[in-house]
Amino acid sequence: MALKNFVPFWERKVKMKSINEIESLIKKSCIKTVATTDARILADAGALLQKPVEKEKVDQRLNLSFLLRPFFRKQLLRFAISAVIVIGVFLGIYQFGGDSSKVYAQMTETMKQMLWTHWIVISQRTDETVAESWYNFEDSIFAQKRNDGILVYNNLGDIEFTYNQLRDKIYLSNIRDIDRDKDFVPAASFQFIHIILDYLKKEAANISRDLIVQAGQDVEVVYAKMAASCKIDKIELKRDVKKNLLLSLRVDYKDSTKDIIGIFDYPKNGPQSIYDLGVSQNTEVVNLIIPSDIPQLIKRINSLRQTSLTDYIALSLPSDNEKLTTSSPYKIPRYFTANDNLACVIYRKQNERCQRRGYFSIETAKMLNILDLHENIQNISEEMFTVSSTIYNSDKIFCYQLLDGKPVRNMLRGQVETYGSRIFIEQICWPKIIVPKNTLVKWKVESVSVSNKEPLIMIERSLESGITERWFLNPARNYICQKNELIRGDTLLSEMEILEYAKTKNGQWYPEKIKNTEYRGIKGNGETFLPETTCKIIYLLENPILPKILFDPNSLPKP
Amino acid sequence: MLEDSRLLELVNNGDKDGLNQIYAKYKNELLTIARSLLPDIHTAEDCLHNVIVKFVSSNSSSHIHNLRSYLIKSVVNQAKDQLKKTKKQSDCRVETLDYDSNSIAPSMRMIEIEESNKVFEALAKLPNEQREVIVMHIHGEMKFKEIADFQCVSTNTVQSRYAYGIEKLRTFLGKES
């Protein structure tokens, strides 16, 4: 039978794959994202989704919730600009000389001294109230009520209340820096006087005045015709001559659909809380305020990352039970044995950092006792067959890699402190905790008791996308982050935990044994990937003498 | 799973579920395309990240008629940009050494199966234009006419690129087993 099918070698033909087979092979070459990548991409993209970028309104009902904040801003900005112009008009009147300049200069001061300044902004096109606002300069409160929601800034308390009518929720958050910078808060509300000086120079306002009697009061009317290049056509303001207070401000735009008029009065009372503006006391409150101790903790961690463990050499080895038993044999250079393992030597001298990865014999490591290992880290790094080297120079990363003993890549990559980077010991100990801006974030800080262990401080940051990250700091060990968890919904995506600590000769704690686990989600066929755990041991020496060339990108071999 | 038009509408309205669904629907396909065009998984993930972030931030989702095609073209464009930046298409085997035991997700570079790697290695040896055509046609399931419009060349050119590319792959990927 065997002979029947036998084909002599001289008659055998090499049969290449068909086009269909090649196409099928390409089609099958699929890869899947991993859970941590998904989490990061969705967190970043999701944060932008929440970010109040100037999205076009397609459907007012649908967009309302999303646009609430920027919509407020736009209206505020528009009116702020109008107010800027008013002040500018006053300043323009300075040019007239005489008593009037003094009067108008004092008007803003008089307004500030009122208990409350209240005004209604009406659209001249629809005759509808666009917004109703209150200023209280003494308590530094600004409130604005609209048909679609309410916004209250308590500047002294550093709190912003937003009532989102569509969601029927009150959001409490800290006043964002961006709002402070843009004069949306009372304390800065008249800082725009300076801006208008430039504005007037550019727009060359033409100003005239008239004196009338309105409701028995002497009222001065100031007209300003703006230059052709200005979006605003003209401004009319009315001032109560006796009290020296602004009564109304009318702004006519070149696009008349935007025309607005603001009518001012000065009541003795104003809204003390968001509930005074018609929001039900039963409305759900979403507290997004960063607990006061979190910024302090983050500052402390950042400082420790910068200032602790600044001069060291560290050797990172997989723990004993982790030999090169990977299912991907192509990852191992063929001339290494199963007793070798991937080691990593890390150097830091202040802001200069270098990392070398390479293969190192576990057997060799076992022959040395721990003390020797500590003492011989520098020598060990020379024994290691380096397969890649990375220099972190300023904000750049330079790296090269070896294949079969030859450098094959020498390139510039990314930035040093990328989010989640855990290459250097200080990054593991005191990780970067990002405080996203323009994103609704929930923070939590609490003390966590673990039986028979030191109490930890937990910082929890939850993004609206459902991504939560937790950092467990150990106050007894210089606030080193003992555990870090990344969670999506109820699913744990990855965790890092320091299992054992050690101390340098200088008394500095550092992690000696670290466990990383990644939960890799679900396969295409519905089965769950097994969690992947790696464990490494770190040996660290502080204040070694490191050759300068270590940190020189030019020292890397060229391919 | 909702239709793309509805998902786009949700994203337009700042709805995260919409974004999550779009991402879940296309992520693996886009990553595979990115990986087919780029030298390593690390860069491919960056590419996917940039495409998704730009998709959300560009505020252009209301003008998209065919979401899948839009995302695939975005990946191809982004991959081109990244290749220009690095000006390198290193041997794919290099990444097998780029295993950082200290990083947060060490297994990220271990998910590619060896068989796929061979294909990616072979694809990496092709000129950019041929590789793009093959990837867009096979993975992106785009018609030659559509690819021709995208590459601003004639359909005949695209078909030639495809034929030459496949022929080279036959050589690279060797004999029938």
ipTM for the assembly: 0.81
Tell whether A483 is within 8 A of chain B (Cβ). no
Residues of B in contact with A331 (CB under 8 A): 96-97, 99, 110
DSSP letters, A266-295, are: --S---SSGGGGT--TTSEEEE-PPPTHHH
Confidence band for B56, pLDDT divided at 50, 70 and 90: confident
* Residue A282 CB coordination number (10 Å): 6
- Is the CATH number 1.10.10.10 carried by domain B104-177? yes
Instruction: Give the pLDDT of residue A500.
Output: 92
Tokens of A278: 């018609």
- Residue of B90, B104, B134 lying closest to A408 (CB–CB): B90
Q: Could you tell me where the beta strands, DSSP code E, fall in A177-259?
A: 206-214, 217-225, 232-240, 245-253
CB pairs under 8 A between A and B: 211
Instruction: Tell me the pLDDT of chain B averaged across its residues.
Output: 75
| Partner-chain residue, chosen from B13, B111, B123, that has the shortest CB–CB distance to A63 | B13
Which is higher by pLDDT, B35 or A17?
Answer: B35
Query: Which chain B residue is nearest to residue A327, measuring alpha carbons?
Result: B110
Q: Do A14 and B120 touch (CB under 8 A)?
A: no
Q: What is the largest CA-CA distance in chain A?
A: 123
Residue A223's pLDDT is what? 80
Do B1-86 and B104-177 come out as alike in CATH topology? no
Count Cβ atoms below 10 Å from residue A475 Cβ, excluding itself. Answer: 13
- The pLDDT score that the predictor gives to residue B45 is 85
Nearest CA in chain B to A25: B119
The number of residues in chain B equals 177
Buried b (16+ CB within 10 A) or exposed e, B72-81: bbbbbebbee
Percent of chain B with pLDDT over 70: 76
Which residues of chain A neighbour B55 with C-beta distances below 8 Å? 45
Between these two residues, B103 and B67, which has the higher pLDDT value?
Answer: B67
Q: Which letter does DSSP use for residue A528 in this model?
A: B
A157 Cβ contact partners less than 8 Å away, ≥ 6 residues apart: none
Q: Which fold has domain B1-86?
A: Rna Polymerase Sigma Factor; Chain: A (1.10.1740)
Compare CB distances from B119 to A29, A401, A465 and report the shortest one's residue: A29
DSSP secondary structure, A428-469, as one string: HHS------SSS-EEEEEEEE--TTS--EEEEEEEETTSEEE
pTM beyond 0.95: the answer is no
Are the Cβ atoms of B41 and A31 closer than 8 angstroms? Answer: yes
| pLDDT tens for the 559 residues of chain A, in order | 333 444 333 333 445 667 777 888 888 788 888 777 788 788 778 777 654 333 332 222 222 222 223 334 444 444 444 454 455 454 444 444 445 555 556 776 787 788 888 888 888 888 888 888 888 877 778 888 887 788 787 766 677 888 887 778 887 777 765 555 544 444 444 444 444 445 555 665 677 788 899 888 899 887 878 878 777 788 787 889 898 888 887 878 888 877 888 888 999 999 988 888 889 988 888 766 777 778 888 888 989 998 999 999 998 887 765 544 433 333 444 444 556 667 788 899 888 888 887 776 656 655 556 556 667 777 766 667 777 778 887 666 777 766 556 666 555 554 444 455 678 899 899 998 877 755 677 888 887 766 667 778 899 988 877 788 899 998 888 899 999 998 888 888 888 999 999 998 888 899 999 998 877 666 556 666 677 787 888 888 888 888 888 888 887 777 6
Name the residue among B45, B57, B170 with its Cβ closest to that of A17: B170
Domain boundaries along the sequence of chain B: 1-86, 104-177
Chain A, 202-231: which have a CB under 8 Å from a chain B CB? none
Q: Between β-strands A284-287 and A169-174, what pairing exists: parallel, antiparallel or unpaired?
A: parallel
Contact call for A62 and B175, based on CB within 8 A: no
How much is the pLDDT for A405?
Answer: 60
Across the interface, which of B13, B103, B108 has its CB nearest the CB of A62?
B13
Residue B24 tokens, joined: 């879940």
Query: What is the percent of chain B where pLDDT is above 90?
Result: 6
To the nearest whole Å, the CA of B79 is away from the closest chain A CA by 16
Coil, helix or strand for A422? coil
Put simply, the answer to whether A37 touches B41 (Cβ < 8 Å) is: no
